[in-house]
Amino acid sequence: MDSKQVAELSSYYLFQNYGRETICFSHGKGEHLWDLEGNRYVDFVAGIAVNCLGHAHPDLVRAVAEQASRLIHVSNLYQIKEQVDLAEALASVVPAPLGRSMFCNSGAEANEAALKLAIKHTGRRRVIACRNSFHGRTSATLSVTGQDKHRKGFEPLLSKNVEFIDFNDLEAIKGAVDGDTAAVILESVQGEGGVIPASSEYFRTARDLCTERGALMIVDEVQTGMGRTGRWFGFQHFGVVPDVISLAKALGGGVPIGAIVSTPEIARTFTPGTHGTTFGGNPLVCAAANAVIHVLKRDALVERAAEMGEKWMDELRSIASGHEEVIDVRGKGLMVGVEMGDLAREFQRYALGKGLLVNVSAGKVVRMVPPLIVSQGSIDALDQAMRDFLG
Ligand SMILES: Cc1ncc(COP(=O)(O)O)c(C=O)c1O
């Protein structure tokens, strides 16, 4: 079967809720993917910031295979050693007083849990979220997602209790957080919104306001967490510690797992029966996430992301200089965006022709979130493609 045949069957048997390329990958290794036709690609998409160790990483493969052969799933009715190991590993990389974890299966679920936690903890209902944000596709997470294109057809959602404010607008957040606010939910870099980093001042203001007015500061680290931005978590660029963070995507390196991490005091709000999920934190996914954290630490991939990302963005800025069609080059670590209007999609196609997979976010930003093991040679190839494309 070739990629075209898979696409035909896909249009017959599957819901058509994704805009898919007519490419079907058969396997991957490191930063590379191969399609059914045998073409090789460099993966700057990484399953949208998921495959942080690249494809078929030996440590991750071994951990999953060994765990699968021993124990894949048991209920949260019982003690799960791999879950405790993972919570301990997370506690070793988050700043205090964060350090208590609960596991689920996706980013949306993590944010759902964070919102429920904030509502129960504060006894309040009101949530402040940002325009242009993305927090997931469930009813509650869509309710705090500030992009009409995702909400259309599903409104009013839970909007009675949600107020949207402009991202990075200090006056707006000062005016919004009050004594009825349960939580402010923020991304440290808006990913789906077009790779837009928060400012330090914004995060520090949000932190102060939440502390002062008794609201929880939730930082959605689903896309930015686990070293992507050159720090373990994006909020660490800003010198603040949130009350709750949500994680998913890279946490399992491709195996579906989400988490919230909070302080012990806030975590105590959830008592037996108040929240849960059948699969959340089962032995298989926790073994995978343990391997991911082990490799990120052992191979200093977070520090590597910081160094490579800075250098890369400098290079992209120099390539873009003199090209008015490039509006901005921005990001943090190996989360890199090149804003170029309609040309973003054109570049995506052009790069694909050169065997380079990139993605477009917000319809106008070339987003690159490669595995953290990406080679300098591949980054050079992407840069050359950008140079040639811009002419
Ligand atoms: C910042 C952020 N939060 C939440 C989500 C939703 O995660 P999931 O697709 O795993 O539900 C995403 C997905 O792109 C995201 O980027």
Q: How far is CA 192 from CA 19, 102, 180, 265, in A?
A: 15, 25, 29, 32
Q: What is the pLDDT of residue 273?
A: 94
| Ligand 1 atom with least separation from CA of 192 | 16
How many angstroms does the Cα of residue 144 sit away from the middle of ligand 1?
Answer: 12
Whether the CB of 194 sits within 6 Å of ligand 1: no
How many angstroms does the Cα of residue 137 sit away from the middle of ligand 1?
Answer: 8
Whether the CB of 135 sits within 6 Å of ligand 1: yes
User: What is the spatial distance between Cα 177 and Cα 180, in angstroms, rounded to a whole number?
Assistant: 8
For residue 71, give both structure tokens.
Answer: 């124990």
Whether the CB of 192 sits within 6 Å of ligand 1: yes
Ligand 1 atom 16: residue of nearest CA: 223
| Ligand 1 atom with least separation from CA of 248 | 10
User: What is the spatial distance between Cα 82 and Cα 127, in angstroms, rounded to a whole number?
Assistant: 34
Give the residue extent of every domain in the chain: 3-56+300-390, 59-298
Query: What CATH architecture is 59-298?
Result: 3-Layer(aba) Sandwich (3.40)
User: What is the spatial distance between Cα 242 and Cα 224, in angstroms, rounded to a whole number?
Assistant: 14
Residue 225, Cβ density class (10 Å: 0-12 exposed, 13-18 middle, ≥19 buried): buried
Q: What is the pLDDT of residue 159?
A: 82
Strand partners, 246: 220, 260
The separation between CA 78 and the C-alpha centre of its own chain, rounded to angstroms, equals 30
Among 222, 246, 369, the mutation site with the greatest number of ligand 1 atoms within 8 A of its Cβ is 222
The model's pTM is: 0.98
Residues 6+ apart with CB under 8 A from 78: none
Q: What is the pLDDT of residue 9?
A: 98
Ligand 1 atom 3: residue of nearest CA: 135
Q: What is the pLDDT of residue 134?
A: 98
How many angstroms does the Cα of residue 361 sit away from the middle of ligand 1?
Answer: 13
How many angstroms does the Cα of residue 390 sit away from the middle of ligand 1?
Answer: 31
Whether the CB of 185 sits within 6 Å of ligand 1: no
How many angstroms does the Cα of residue 189 sit away from the middle of ligand 1?
Answer: 12
Strand partners, 356: 42
The separation between CA 340 and the C-alpha centre of its own chain, rounded to angstroms, equals 22
Tell me which residue has tokens 């040309």: 343
Whether the CB of 193 sits within 6 Å of ligand 1: no
Whether the CB of 106 sits within 6 Å of ligand 1: yes
Whether the CB-CB separation of 192 and 361 falls below 8 Å is answered with yes
Stretches in the chain below the pLDDT threshold 70 = none
How many angstroms does the Cα of residue 135 sit away from the middle of ligand 1?
Answer: 5
How many angstroms does the Cα of residue 134 sit away from the middle of ligand 1?
Answer: 7
Ligand 1 atom 9: residue of nearest CA: 107
Among 18, 45, 134, the mutation site with the greatest number of ligand 1 atoms within 8 A of its Cβ is 134
Radius of gyration for the alpha carbons in the chain, expressed in angstroms and rounded = 21
Q: How far is CA 77 from CA 74, 114, 281, in A?
A: 8, 22, 12
Instruction: State how beta strands 216-220 and 258-262 pair.
Output: unpaired
| Ligand 1 atom with least separation from CA of 191 | 16
User: What is the spatial distance between Cα 207 and Cα 218, in angstroms, rounded to a whole number?
Assistant: 10
How many angstroms does the Cα of residue 239 sit away from the middle of ligand 1?
Answer: 24
pLDDT tens figures, 262-279: 999 999 999 999 999 999
Residues 6+ apart with CB under 8 A from 282: 72, 73, 74, 80, 83
Whether the CB of 187 sits within 6 Å of ligand 1: yes
Name the residue type at position 185: I
What SS3 class is residue 9? helix
| Ligand 1 atom with least separation from CA of 106 | 10
Instruction: Quickly name the fold that domain 3-56+300-390 has.
Output: Aspartate Aminotransferase, domain 1 (3.90.1150)
Q: What is the pLDDT of residue 294?
A: 98
| Ligand 1 atom with least separation from CA of 138 | 11
How many angstroms does the Cα of residue 246 sit away from the middle of ligand 1?
Answer: 10
How many angstroms does the Cα of residue 57 sit away from the middle of ligand 1?
Answer: 23
